[in-house]
Amino acid sequence: MFNQVTRVPTKYCFQYNNAVYFCVPRNLLSKALGEDARNIHKISDILRKRVRIVPIPMSLKDARGFISAVVNPVTFKDLEIHDDEMILTAGSQSKAALIGRNKRRLLEMQEIVKDFFKKDFKIV
């Protein structure tokens, strides 16, 4: 459905915080959005959910920008990348928003990080 509306191929789709995220190559981001974000509104009406389009992370160097785009408008202080895990540092208000009620958002983000970067995810 996403390919038909936007004419941009994507393999990556996931849910976070009751929104559907589609990942597209960075150079096709504006085409996927459409003129005046028309494509996002059309897909949102079909799915009856919020829709966000973010660029695909190409490597671990893109991890900070990718996670920032997913959790936006919530901000965080730092993202540390170790051998087998990512540790996100946030203030108390941001930490609460990133973890969510019953750790729902934390569990969703752990699954996203595992899929894209093959690492464990923690919030400190």
Q: Any idea where the domains of the chain sit in the sequence?
A: 2-55, 74-123
Q: How confident is the model over 101-121, as pLDDT tens digits? A: 999 999 999 999 999 899 999
CA dihedral of residues 95, 64, 77, 52 (deg, nearest 10): -50
Contact in structure between 85 and 122 (CB atoms under 8 Å): yes
Name the CATH topology of 2-55.
GMP Synthetase; Chain A, domain 3 (3.30.300)
pTM for this structure?
0.85
Q: In this structure, are strands 19-24 and 12-16 parallel, antiparallel, or unpaired?
A: antiparallel
Residue 73: its pLDDT value, please? Answer: 87
Question: Does position 48 have pLDDT exceeding 90, yes or no?
Answer: yes
Q: Label residue 34 left, alpha or beta by phi (over 0 means left) and psi (-120 to 50 means alpha).
A: left
Mean per-residue pLDDT of the chain: 89
Residue 82: its pLDDT value, please? Answer: 87
Q: How confident is the model over 25-40, as pLDDT tens digits? A: 888 888 888 888 888 8
